Structure 1
Amino acid sequence: MKVIKIGIASQEEIRKRMFAVAKGELRVKSSDPKIWFTSMRSLAQVLSDENRALLQVIRSSKPVSITELADLTGRKQGNLSRTLKTMANYGLVKMKKQDRALVPVVCGDRIEIFV
């Protein structure tokens, strides 16, 4: 089971952490979050009930394209593409190119949040 670890910190705290890692002052542990949000509100927008349901559909149905995922979920393809792009930017999904289609793949089975 792959766990996606998400941290919540202010922009300043995230920046300080990144600089400390870059300078070698802080070592990143495997138990540390890999994805960071600046607030619970921004996390809640990305992981809304609707988007968590979307992740579950991707995980269970393994659609072969965004078009198939749109058919499975009843969501419009344009809206779905924007949502998947946002989730991909945060590392929650990967968009794999297969033939001529982009195939969404969920990056983990479970999410842990660190505050």
Structure 2
Amino acid sequence: MSKKTAILGASPNPMRYAYLAAERLTIHDHPIVPIGIKQGEIFGEKILDLRERPEVKDLDTVTMYIGPKNQVEWEDYIISLLPKRIIFNPGSENPSLEKKAIEKGIKIDHACTLVMLRSKQY
């Protein structure tokens, strides 16, 4: 079953983990919605400008590639996307955002999206 996934911190730089996640999600037939401050396109999808707080419907997952310090101004926006879950990749853990998410019934995973995909746990 495909899971529409927003990649927060998306980047067109192939050396970034967010780029690798976009690649792997695409290979595994999960629709991606790249969102970040970098301009560009990845795997046929335009990177939406995080500063514009783009509306995204029917999200299954938000996978975080933004450090906790840089998440603060986006917390309410992230919650407003109403994903079923948020994956906090290593280094993106944020107790404040996690608490808000849990209060809204959003599942939290402390995991690596790449490992989850590789081990068929996505």
**TM-score interval w.r.t. the shorter chain?**
under 0.3
TM-score, L = length of structure 1: 0.26
Q: Which has the higher helix share?
A: 1
- The structure number with the bigger radius of gyration is 1
Point out which structure has higher relative CO (alpha carbons under 8 A, 6+ apart).
1
